[in-house]
Amino acid sequence: MNRADPVAGRTATGALLTLALPIIGVNVGMMLMGTVDTIMVGRVSPESLAAVALGNVVFFALSIFGVGVLLAVDPIISQAVGARNDLGVALGAQRGLIIAAVLSVPIGAALFAAGPALRLFQQPEGVVPLAAVYCAILVPGVLPFFAFNVGRQTLQAMHRVSPVLWAIGVANLLNIALNRLLIFGGLGIPAMGVAGSAWATTISRIITL
């Protein structure tokens, strides 16, 4: 009876963890921006806290559709990497970016229309205007968010996850700093509250590129 080589098993497990742990870190980092927004803006008012939390629910509810569509790029790029087809990798990434740009239009439009939609679902009237502002300011970050996902999938297929992890790490640190500055004001910048939190996240998403 054949027995599995324990050394080979440990080597395979180590290789898997080397790839998987940074991917987990990237996914956590992508979700962390909205969490930081919610925590930091909570010091402004309960309504601001509720608005940012609600705005993030709307953003991720819409963007998860786009992320799901972009998962179709994964096998295309992975197959090209396996075949050592550099042109195929480039074409896969290019098509992914085109899809990302197309998806950004309806999702951006939906974010702009968040206010009426939230009223339709009978959300608190004191929260809806702030949540609508938050969602509207997130619109310029939609394409960078999707483009980052395409880049992440491409580098992940090439087993080069570290640059993506560094990018999301820097973006999160920037988001914390900008939240502090734009929410509460400083350096000649007036306090912007919920709007400042949204701008902090949008700028940080653009920086990931």
- pLDDT for 66: 87
- pLDDT for 2: 52
pTM above 0.85, yes or no: no
- pLDDT for 15: 63
DSSP string computed for 97-135: HHHHHHHHHHHHHHHHTHHHHHHHTT--TTTHHHHHHHH
- pLDDT for 18: 66
161-170 contacts at long range (C-beta below 8 A, 24 or more positions apart): 161/19, 161/22, 161/23, 161/26, 162/22, 164/22, 164/26, 165/22, 165/25, 165/26, 165/29, 167/208, 168/25, 168/26, 168/29, 168/30, 168/208, 169/25, 169/29, 170/207
- pLDDT for 1: 46
- pLDDT for 157: 80
Per-residue pLDDT of the chain (209 residues; tens, 9 = 90+): 455 555 555 566 766 666 667 667 777 777 777 788 888 888 888 888 899 989 998 998 998 888 888 888 888 888 888 888 888 888 888 998 999 999 999 999 999 988 888 888 888 888 899 999 999 999 999 999 999 988 888 888 887 877 888 888 888 889 999 999 999 988 888 888 899 999 999 999 898 87
